[in-house]
Copies of this chain bind each other. A is one copy, B any other.
Amino acid sequence: MSIEQQNGTTVLRHEPDYTPPRSWRTWLIGRPLPTADAPHQTVSKVVGLAVFASDALSSTAYATQEMLAVLAVAGTMALGHAFPISIAIFTLLVIVTVSYEQTIHAYPGGGGAYIVSRDNLGELPAQTAGAALLTDYILTVAVSISSGVAQIISAWPALYPYRVAIAVGFVLFIMLINLRGVRESGAIFAFPTYLFLGMISVTVLVGLVRYLTGSLGTVADPPELLTAGTVQSIGLFLILRAFANGTTALTGVEAISNGIPAFREPKSRNAGITLIWMSALLGVLLLGITFLATRISAVPSEAETVISQLARTALGGRGLLYLVTIAGTTVILVMAANTSFADFPRLGALLAVDGFLPRQLAYRGSRLVFSRGIALLAGVASLLIIIFRASVTRLIPLYAIGVFLSFTLSQAGMAHRWWKIGHLSPGQEVKERGSTLRPESGWKLKMGINGFGALSTAVVAVVFAVTKFAEGAWVVLILMPLLILAFSAIHRHYRHLARRLSLDAFGAPPPVLRHRVILPLSGVHRGTLEALRYARRLSDDVTAVHVSTDPAEAEKVRAKWEQWGEGVRLVILDSPYRLLLEPLLAYVQEIADHRQPNETITIVVPQFVPRHWWNSLLHTRTANMLRLALLFKPGIVITDVPYQVE
């Protein structure tokens, strides 16, 4: 410890090599890290793609299958509509990508939907975006992990009965990793992302070549068909439902716009190029997988994923290449969940600092991560996985609304930002919290692009909400407003508290006129006298109170008090129903109700300090209960005077 004096204040500082004592947590998540260790690391485009693209790219592992699951209700012939639908989704992807490209350049410090909405649309849209993103992150974990487990089950069908346990196990594992706060070292992320990209590209390429040469054939020994709904004929509503399911391929596209500061300089440029690469890969893979899946007559099933069917058909059975492809797909899905574990706590902390969520979420744990947000995410995602039995098909209806809602708000915010830029005077600069507005040419085109992006994604959000409403989207449509209400209530609480505790315009507190001390006692012994001595130091106005359930006992207390009570007055509360706490509380309340202004009431509680933990089981802990009952009464000070028997 070193001691410094600063303007009359003493500062006690640990030596630089100080480490706190070890605990069970050290074993689980590693030794605590000092605040000074916070990382400031940047990544190249190649690594950036690996770090931020896993969420988006991994959705190709389930998007096709979920389209097929909807179409299957109209019979196997209807499955052919999947490819045209995927072209529509590709178009949507292009719109969203161009739109986000502009966001990346406008917000070099990171332009997530929450920040963009807050700066350009106001508090309610920002809160909506926050709620949408939080639900999105939770569902990303649930869906990605469930899909990852579905890949494993495709390769080892015997594990099917344990899928929920395996999925929850994965979530807890990722939680632990994140609580440790692994440095996002490029290699760790790059290897599986590129493994997945490589293997899935090989699968699609081999599949295409074999299709063109006519040697592809169809899925051998296909799994049991799973349909999402009762048999019906093909129609617009069904096509839209399939489209809605397919749009889950776009989830995660926004990740790069959150992570711009992590890129090397020139940050915006590098991030933008990476975004385009990611979208291109995503689009091509989606088209390729969907095309091949319909050619080989892949069937949507809980027992085997479409990716698995495609891989074993294209690659010639369940050989080594097949296994590596499945492994790569599983790992990238798990990594997609990991992305949410980075984003959810960060957004939670942002909302907490802005006073919309409990402040604790902004507290960095011993490993410098937002540990409470991480634990919260793991808890809620595990709950979802358990409720929905780790079924991607059942989770999907809850998923994409949040994503597209945040897309819409983000793009609408950008459109409004361009409108503001268009109305600046030449040379004028306006600083906002997340970005700086400067006059810019071509703002009308840019506003048009973002506006069109907002409109398209809004339409998709509505389509999704309508077509998926009965299947589960209603849950999200109820939860999100509730979440926003909670944000407001929390915000109101903090604002109110800050105003009331503020020292602005705070005069000196009025002097205390009178100090009453109440000393509850169950018997007269050394511990009580210790408390009496303390009470008498506080005030001359001390009243000892004994709750009597037994007249003989009360008489003993009275007699002893006469000898030892130093003349302090004793009140005996008769308790015919043998209650101990209630009469005392009523008495204190009575006194509190009739006190004068500026009268302080202190309850001095003799507190038995046990030698061994089990000792405290041998005492009615009236002192503890009394404190708990009085603690939250305003204006009553509670003092615990310990007595110990050593």
Tell me how far the C-beta of A181 lies from the nearest C-beta in chain B, rounded to whole angstroms. 13
Contact between A9 and B572, CB atoms less than 8 A apart: yes
With A14-B574, A570-B10 already in contact, the answer to whether A639 and B642 are too (CB < 8 A) is no
Chain B positions within 8 Å of A36 at CB level:
576
Residue A610, interface by CB 8 Å: yes
For A14-30 the 0/1 string (1 means CB < 8 A from B) is 10001110000000000
Copies of this chain, tallied across the complex: 2
Bound-state CA distance A502–B549 (Å) is 22
* Separation of A609 and B561 alpha carbons in the complex (Å): 35
Q: Is A213 an interface residue (CB 8 A)?
A: no
Residue A7 interfacial (CB < 8 Å):
yes
A9–B570 touching, CB < 8 Å: yes
B645 touching A632, Cβ below 8 Å:
no
Q: Which residues from B are CB-within-8-Å of A32? A: 577, 579
Given A7-B562, A600-B534, A574-B503 contact (CB < 8 Å):
no
A402 to chain B, nearest CB (A): 24
The answer to whether A576 and B18 have CB atoms under 8 Å apart is yes
A526 on the B face (CB < 8 A): yes
Residue of B nearest to A526 (CB): B501
A359-B562 contact given A366-B578, A497-B645, CB 8 Å threshold: no
Encode contact with B along A405-420: 1 for CB under 8 Å, 0 otherwise: 0000000000000000
Chain A contact patch, size range: 35 or more
Write out the residue numbers on chain B whose beta carbons fall within 8 Å of the beta carbon of A515.
537
Report Cα–Cα, A609/B550, bound state, in Å: 35
Is A641's CB within 8 Å of the partner chain B?
Answer: yes
Indicate if the CB atoms of B639 and A637 lie closer than 8 Å. yes
Q: Which residues of B contact A14 (CB under 8 A)?
A: 574, 576
Residues of B with C-beta under 8 A to A13: 574
Report whether A359 and B20 are in contact in the complex, using a CB–CB cutoff of 8 Å. Answer: no
User: Is A210 positioned at the interface, with any CB of B under 8 Å from its CB?
Assistant: no
Residues of B within 8 Å of A609, CB to CB, are 631-634
Return chain B residues, CB-CB under 8 Å to A496.
Answer: 645
A218 to B62, CA, bound (A): 70
A20 / chain B contacts, CB cutoff of 8 Å: 577, 579, 582
Q: Are B642 and A363 in contact (CB under 8 A)?
A: no
**Proximity bits, A555-575, B CB within 8 Å = 1, else 0:** 000101111100001111110
A364 beta carbon closer than 8 Å to chain B = yes
Whether the pair B617, A358 counts as a contact (CB closer than 8 A) is yes
* Chain B CB within 8 A of A530 CB: yes
Q: Which of B363, B617, B637 contacts A641 (CB 8 A)?
A: B637
Q: With the chains together, A515 CA to B639 CA distance in Å?
A: 15
**List of B residues within 8 angstroms of A526 by Cβ:** 500-503, 506
A16 nearest in chain B by CB position: B576
A620 to B364, CA, bound (A): 13
When the two chains form their complex, are residues A639 and B639 in contact, meaning their CB atoms are under 8 A apart? yes
A436 beta carbon closer than 8 Å to chain B: no
> Given A560-B503, A578-B35 in contact, is the A572-B11 Cβ separation under 8 Å?
yes
Produce 1/0 per residue, A618-640, CB < 8 A to B: 11100000010001111111111
Query: 21 interchain pairs (CB within 8 A)?
Result: A6-B558, A9-B558, A9-B570, A10-B570, A19-B577, A35-B576, A35-B578, A359-B620, A364-B578, A366-B578, A493-B615, A494-B618, A497-B645, A501-B643, A503-B525, A503-B526, A515-B537, A534-B600, A609-B634, A636-B642, A637-B641
Known: A20-B582, A503-B526, A635-B642. 17 other contacts (CB 8 A): A8-B569, A11-B571, A12-B573, A12-B587, A13-B574, A18-B576, A20-B577, A358-B617, A359-B620, A496-B645, A503-B529, A512-B533, A537-B538, A632-B642, A634-B646, A637-B640, A638-B640
Q: 7 tightest A-B contacts by CB?
A: A501-B525, A634-B644, A34-B576, A500-B645, A13-B574, A639-B639, A32-B577
